[in-house]
Chain A
């Protein structure tokens, strides 16, 4: 098998590198999120031990990996999350912000290893994720 066939895609590679260098992305990601949107902090008021925040981030990363890979469930899951979070008065824009925050945190953790292919892959990924964030109606996106 060639190296090309076994090499992870740039998204996967960036997450793997980050995992090697940072034990837990949770504090950094949420620090960025709350700095940009202080009102979000009240939604996690009871989460003193970071269990909720940590699991949410883990699921977002798993969804990103699925989206960048086989796309088994990520697109429809994002659409559902946009709808259910609207019930908690969390606007769809927060999803865009959250995905962008994950990318920004990874960029910082990776430093000079945030290469041009990784940057381009994340730019395209965020654009594609945003489509599902802004189009949560599955009837309108079926088969896309």
Chain B
């Protein structure tokens, strides 16, 4: 990290410890872009773990910052509903896109069950050779001895290829999936994404493209891809256009952004912790543990939001019916009372799978095993080829308090002597 970066982080820590607790507002995209959110969460966990604040755009909300409190909220879908929205921002009234992650039982359970076979251990075992071959091809095409962007050349490419396979999506058009994913998650005003009308137009293009695929699949025999599963599934076959778009958004973002950012995060984390990189290269058997530790360390989705369905006393606070309740996974994963030495990146820690990055309860990430598989495979293939991948400059981080990730990560693969 350069001097300027260290100064920014020092100033953030100073401010986080100095301002009155009621002024702490963690849903601030800028804190995540500058990677300065950590001290604010530390203070909340210590002094006010169930914290109330008012966001200038999204209004009042509760922040849940401790691991076990997140478990309690995330598993209690009766009192804390996903139905209204799963991010702190409410969807626009005239652009509602229902999706199963933002539904409660019983509809949620039926729709999730329709697509989950595509992500079952058996299906993933079938997919693994293809993912491995593609990972190898991507790595073999990388330049050696010159700086390139790991996010674009590797992370996006591999996760997009995998997503295209899951949808049985025309391979030559696969970067459309990346674009749609970015359109969905880019913060308002982000350069390159136009205004709200232009974004919606791109999303209608997305659902139009997928509707053509749906029409092909619905008239054919059922197959193992996600579109065919939805077209033939009892719980999903009658979805209207907006619900179809909603579930596409869920599957595209879930299958793309999260794994992409953890894959980039793995390179960054190992570079910031060179002793751990050495440990991994010397003992590749700890790779599964390193994958889980990176998923915790990165926490690719910083938060999930619920809405209180009744008045609830929680953590000494009175949460009222209708209140927004935001579970900060990014904070729970650093909870000192639950996770030993949580701020350290330790790839062979005793319980690497002890994290909340996938969420808990009925909405726990349906693609968690696919995410782990892709991370494991890319690193198995990296270790066969390259003894080192060096980060050449600070990454550019996404300005979002929801998607915790990277726009660019400049790296270089050193030439062999």
Contacts and interface: CB of A to CB of B under 8 A. Distances in A.
B170 to A, nearest CB: 29
Interface in B344-395: 351-354, 360-362, 364, 366
Given A73-B68, A138-B78, A43 B362 contact: no
A46 B291 CA distance: 14
B354 A55 contact: yes
Contacts of B120: 88
A139 B78 contact: yes
Contacts of B352: 51
A84 B101 CA distance: 13
Contact of B353 (A51, A83, A86, A139): A51
Given A80-B360, A88-B120, A49 B78 contact: no
A45 interface: yes
Interface residues of B, number: 29
Most B-side CB within 10 Å, residue of A42, A49, A87, A88: A87
Contact of B361 (A42, A72, A77, A142): A77
A80 B361 contact: yes
A52 B71 contact: no
Most B-side CB within 10 Å, residue of A54, A77, A84, A137: A84
Contacts of B71: 72-73, 77
A83 B105 contact: yes
A51 to B, nearest CB: 6
Interface in B60-92: 68, 71-72, 75-79
B278 to A, nearest CB: 20
Most B-side CB within 10 Å, residue of A43, A83, A86, A142: A83
Contacts, number: 72
Nearest to B315: A72
B116 interface: yes
A76 interface: yes
A52 B354 CA distance: 10
B109 interface: yes
Contact of B68 (A72, A79, A84, A87): A72
A77 B78 CA distance: 12
A13 interface: no
B19 interface: no
A39 B364 CA distance: 24
A79 B361 CA distance: 8
Nearest to A47: B288
A96 B112 CA distance: 24
B307 interface: no
Contact of B288 (A49, A73, A76, A79): A49
A86 B105 CA distance: 14
Contacts of A19: none
Given A77-B75, A80-B75, A80-B77, A51 B105 contact: no
Interface in B98-125: 105, 109, 112-113, 116, 120-121, 125
Q: How large is the interface on A (under 10, 10 to 19, 20 to 34, 35 or more residues)?
A: 20 to 34
Given A49-B289, A51-B288, A73 B72 contact: yes
Nearest to B115: A87
Contact of B351 (A43, A46, A58, A72): A58
B78 A87 contact: no
B112 A87 contact: yes
B354 A83 contact: no
B77 to A, nearest CB: 6
Contacts of B361: 76-77, 80, 84
B285 interface: yes
A108 to B, nearest CB: 24
A45 B121 contact: yes
Contacts of B79: 142
B113 A87 contact: yes
Interface in B318-367: 351-354, 360-362, 364, 366
Interface string B174-192: 0000000000000000000
A138 B353 CA distance: 27
B148 to A, nearest CB: 32
A87 B353 CA distance: 21
A72 B71 CA distance: 9
A140 B164 CA distance: 40
A140 B361 CA distance: 17
A54 B351 CA distance: 8
Given A46-B125, A72-B72, A76-B77, 18 more contacts: A49-B289, A51-B288, A51-B289, A54-B351, A72-B68, A72-B71, A73-B68, A73-B76, A76-B75, A76-B78, A80-B360, A84-B364, A87-B109, A87-B116, A88-B116, A138-B76, A138-B78, A138-B105
| Pairs A-B, 10 closest by C-beta atoms | A138-B78, A55-B353, A73-B72, A80-B361, A77-B75, A76-B75, A76-B76, A73-B71, A87-B116, A80-B75
